[in-house]
Structure 1
Amino acid sequence: MIIKTTLGDNVINEQQPQNYQFALTALTSLFFMWGFITCLNDILIPHLKAVFELSYTQAMLIQFCFFSAYFLISLPAGTLVKRVGYQKGIVIGLTIAAFGCLCFYPAAALHSYPVFLLALFILASGITVLQVSANPYVSRLGDAKTASARLTLTQAFNALGTTVAPLFGALLILNHAANSISSNENAQAVQMPYVVLAAMLLGLAGIFAYLKLPKLIDNQREVDIDESLSSPWHHRHLVLGAIGIFVYVGAEVSIGSFLVSFLGEPTIAGLAEADAAKYITYYWGGAMVGRFIGAGVMQKIAAGKVLCFNAVVAIGLLIIAVTTSGKLAMWAILLVGVCNSIMFPTIFSLAITGLGKDTGQGSGILCLAIVGGAIVPLFQGMIADNVGVQMAFLLPILCYGFIAHYGISGSRVKVSP
């Protein structure tokens, strides 16, 4: 069966070349903001754990609610963006995210953990709409041959946001909480920081509503899609790649979520929360630096081999973190961030290799697999409650073990009948 579909307002008219430098400059602010907001969860976890006297499992509901939004909202967000266009999608995403930030104020006033979780889900929903809008918009702002370079550049600003956020959170949230007397005052430490974030997001929404960004249009044209072609699920390397994305995001988020607690252990560094939070910068900063190093290395060495190497090194570092103590264990866990740097884009690109007309659906499957950031930390929280924070890092070791297998073997292109 052949279906005719129309590609409309969201495609560049290549016959009318434009200068997209201003638009790209404006869009980099979005990538910075959602990296910044996502990484603040690593500060919220130990803070709300102390405020509400939560178990590790209960505290990991923060990541569960946040990353569940990617799974639940991605497809509706795609439909929304298809109807309203990229620019309006960006404005809507920023507005929803701002509303989620504002919800932190009543959550703290009511001293209610469930309301905090609801606020996080709303915030993450806005970030999801933002990503669904901004990522393809950036990739289509110019020559298709340089799309990867543009995305790499903007993703660097995303990594900058994750690097700066822990310092912001330590200064304005954990330091304030440390000087508070009651648990109510502790909870209220998040109010003003998130109100400021809401104001910034609303400001960006207003700017993007009035900016004259390039309209990505071309002549209406039809594309034939043959429904008799193989399903994307028949591509073994795609299915394994989706599992790879699931365990990678899960491992990365789990490690970041437990860093403050891990560095606070008396046998590791015995740091106060505000001091430990500052070291999260090294974890996410390592990922930013490693991204540039990995990009150069993969020009000469096959991506699958580099992926396997990084995963094996991450396993070695985690084994050191689990079996030793003091500064050796501390720096071992922080250096895992460098290993993480190239994993997501590498797994993603290997997984969609050779998909042809199934590429779009394959990309959607991989994006849904980001829900690993909701599931894996929850299981690590359960392990931490039963055997301790340090031993709980055995779970990410299993995750990186699968990634190593995918890099060396699972990423080979094979199509199931």
Structure 2
Amino acid sequence: MQITNQTGDTHEVPTQNGSSKQYLLPFILITSLFFLWGMAHNLDSILIPHLKKACQLNNSQSTLIDTAVFFAYFVMAIPAGMLIKRFGYKNSIITGLLVFATGAFLFVPAANSRTYEMFLFALFIIGCGLTILETSANPYAAILGPPESASKRLNLAASFNGLAAMVAPIVGSLFILSGKNYSETELAAMPDATRAAYLLEEASAVKLPYIILGSVLVLVAILFFFMKLPSMKPTHTEAEIKPGFFSVLKFSHLSWAVVAQFFYVGAQVCITSFFIRIAQQGAGLDEKTAGYYLGIYGFLFMAGRFIGTFFLKYVKDYVLLSIYCAISMILCLIAIYGSGIIVIYALGGIGFFMSIMFPTIFSLGLVGLKSNTETGSSWLVMSIVGGAIIPYGMGTLIDMKHDDIQSGYIIPLICFGIILYFGIFGRRVKTV
């Protein structure tokens, strides 16, 4: 059997009694990956305020957690694309899972030594594993069925990434956040041994969740090893001209998708990374309560994915993207200038309307690339480096504003403006 994906590529797929049900189990397995890397990303939102406390960091230093993870996307995107071409989707997925698990297990020595650099190294390794998984799973989910439903499939799979956005903060609040917060004056007044024991206890709280996560990843890798997946191998015609890695950016809609994805990931990471801090500062919540509100934010993000997937049956993907961007910009203004619990409501609303942006930008960027789908996918994954750069800029701005968290949310406001331009103009496909 042959299928043609949304990019125009033809792929050979083994049939099972001629039924399209052959895609169901592979799609379920691929969807589980969206949940797992969602757990990793959304635990970072807990780690940032937690390690800021445990390792005694300022705001910009704490965002290096995001930098370590998302810089790995930039470094590993091209090797990940080469890995897929050489060994296929299945072997690449297994490799990504095992690398991801290795990074999770490295949290144990990092916590034992309370060494921030070791935590950053572990997070970088996790990021490398996530890069391989996302480079494999996103295009695989897109081509695993009829081309006209590629955006809906990606949004459905990504909905379980949204489920992780709800589950991870709750798990992190229960097992990582202690609820103990001491001022610099109180810490300085403690005996050295008491202060050291407190900080080590805080750092050690991350060990159990990451040991469990790493073990689950190994089990899933074993499951993929023994599971037979449809082989999606492109059968391009010799007449097709295949631009090089940089030449593919002549597709202007892909170039704009890369820019939009850069700013989208930056905006998402900014909002979640400082969510607990703004909940404490702007709404007066304690650390654990703020963590639970982050779980509610995750629920709204997940709901947005499912509801957005439903709307995509009736509304063009770029139209829905543009509407959601405009609403997110309004909610950013409320988060900046509002006070009290309304700030949390505004951030929750942003989570809802931001939910469909990543998979929608991804699928719009791959339209019409044909034999360049893998290269385009690598560029879109590389653009995730926005999550390494933009939050650091936001943290620096907040430090400059004397720890005024709300003022920093002007950064995601600007990001959504750029994505809005992509949804209206940049996504248009032009002949190369």
Q: What TM-score comes out, normalization by structure 2 length?
A: 0.85
Is 1:195 matched up with 2:211? yes
Query: What residue number does 1:273 align with?
Result: 287
Q: Unpaired segments of 5 or more residues in structure 2?
A: 1-10, 183-194
Shift of 1:119: 0.2
Shift of 1:92: 1.7
Q: Paired residues, what number? A: 404
Deviation string for 1:213-232 (max 9, x for gaps)? Answer: 13516797754432589943
Aligned pairs for 1:363-402 (under 5 A) are: 363-387=377-401, 388-402=404-418
Please state whether the residue corresponding to 2:413 is helix, strand or coil. Answer: helix
Aligned-residue identity in percent: 38
Aligned pairs for 1:169-188 (under 5 A) are: 169-175=172-178, 182-188=198-204
Is 1:225 matched up with 2:240? yes
Q: Return closer, same or farther for 1:65/1:11 CA change in 2, 3 Å cut-off.
A: farther
Take 1:133 and 1:169, find their aligned partners in 2: how far apart are those partners?
A: 28
Which deviates the most, 42-51 or 401-410? 401-410
Deviation string for 1:289-330 (max 9, x for gaps)? Answer: 122333343444443333222212111111111112101122
Q: Unpaired segments of 5 or more residues in structure 1?
A: 1-9
Shift of 1:356: 4.8
Shift of 1:415: 5.5
Take 1:247 and 1:238, find their aligned partners in 2: how far apart are those partners?
A: 14
Q: Indicate conservation of the 8 Å contact 2:262/2:387, yes or no.
A: yes
Query: What residue number does 2:160 align with?
Result: 157
Is 1:36 matched up with 2:51? no
Take 1:320 and 1:203, find their aligned partners in 2: how far apart are those partners?
A: 44
Shift of 1:157: 1.7
Which deviates the most, 64-73 or 355-364? 355-364
Q: Return closer, same or farther for 1:86/1:218 CA change in 2, 3 Å cut-off.
A: closer
Please state whether the residue corresponding to 2:177 is helix, strand or coil. Answer: helix
Aligned pairs for 1:189-268 (under 5 A) are: 189-209=205-225, 211-216=226-231, 223-227=238-242, 231-265=247-281, 268=282
Query: What residue number does 1:22 align with?
Result: 25
Aligned pairs for 1:279-290 (under 5 A) are: 279-290=293-304
Aligned pairs for 1:37-56 (under 5 A) are: 37-56=40-59
Q: Indicate conservation of the 8 Å contact 1:68/1:371, yes or no.
A: yes
Query: What residue number does 2:376 align with?
Result: 362
Q: Return closer, same or farther for 1:204/1:383 CA change in 2, 3 Å cut-off.
A: same
Take 1:16 and 1:217, find their aligned partners in 2: how far apart are those partners?
A: 18
Question: Which of 337, 345, 357 is the matching residue for 1:343?
Answer: 357
Aligned pairs for 1:63-142 (under 5 A) are: 63-142=66-145
Which amino acid in structure 1 is aligned with residue 273 of structure 2?
S
Query: What residue number does 2:187 align with?
Result: none
Q: Return closer, same or farther for 1:402/1:136 CA change in 2, 3 Å cut-off.
A: closer
Please state whether the residue corresponding to 1:174 is helix, strand or coil. Answer: coil
Shift of 1:287: 2.1
Is 1:13 matched up with 2:14? yes
Shift of 1:253: 0.8
Shift of 1:237: 2.9
Take 2:147 and 2:424, find their aligned partners in 1: how far apart are those partners?
A: 29
Shift of 1:113: 0.3
Take 1:250 and 1:273, find their aligned partners in 2: how far apart are those partners?
A: 24
Deviation string for 1:276-296 (max 9, x for gaps)? Answer: 111112222222212233334
Shift of 1:176: 7.5
Shift of 1:156: 1.8
Q: Return closer, same or farther for 1:274/1:355 CA change in 2, 3 Å cut-off.
A: same
Q: Return closer, same or farther for 1:394/1:155 CA change in 2, 3 Å cut-off.
A: same
Shift of 1:15: 8.7
Question: Root-mean-square deviation (CA), in Å?
Answer: 2.7
Which amino acid in structure 1 is aligned with residue 228 of structure 2?
L
Take 1:400 and 1:221, find their aligned partners in 2: how far apart are those partners?
A: 37
Q: Return closer, same or farther for 1:151/1:223 CA change in 2, 3 Å cut-off.
A: farther
Shift of 1:344: 1.8
Which deviates the most, 84-93 or 51-60? 84-93
Q: Return closer, same or farther for 1:14/1:347 CA change in 2, 3 Å cut-off.
A: same
Please state whether the residue corresponding to 1:216 is helix, strand or coil. Answer: coil
Q: Indicate conservation of the 8 Å contact 1:14/1:218, yes or no.
A: no
Take 1:24 and 1:113, find their aligned partners in 2: how far apart are those partners?
A: 38
Query: What residue number does 2:331 align with?
Result: 317
Q: Indicate conservation of the 8 Å contact 1:12/1:141, yes or no.
A: no
Which amino acid in structure 2 is aligned with residue 169 of structure 1?
G
Take 1:273 and 1:27, find their aligned partners in 2: how far apart are those partners?
A: 34
Shift of 1:140: 4.5
Deviation string for 1:119-172 (max 9, x for gaps)? Answer: 001111112222233334444545555555443332222211121100000000
Take 1:79 and 1:228, find their aligned partners in 2: how far apart are those partners?
A: 15
Aligned pairs for 1:57-68 (under 5 A) are: 57-68=60-71
Deviation string for 1:356-400 (max 9, x for gaps)? Answer: 554443333222111111111010010011112110111111111
Query: What residue number does 1:6 align with?
Result: none
Query: What residue number does 1:3 align with?
Result: none
Please state whether the residue corresponding to 1:182 is helix, strand or coil. Answer: helix
Take 1:63 and 1:97, find their aligned partners in 2: how far apart are those partners?
A: 16
Please state whether the residue corresponding to 2:14 is helix, strand or coil. Answer: coil
Q: Return closer, same or farther for 1:178/1:392 CA change in 2, 3 Å cut-off.
A: closer
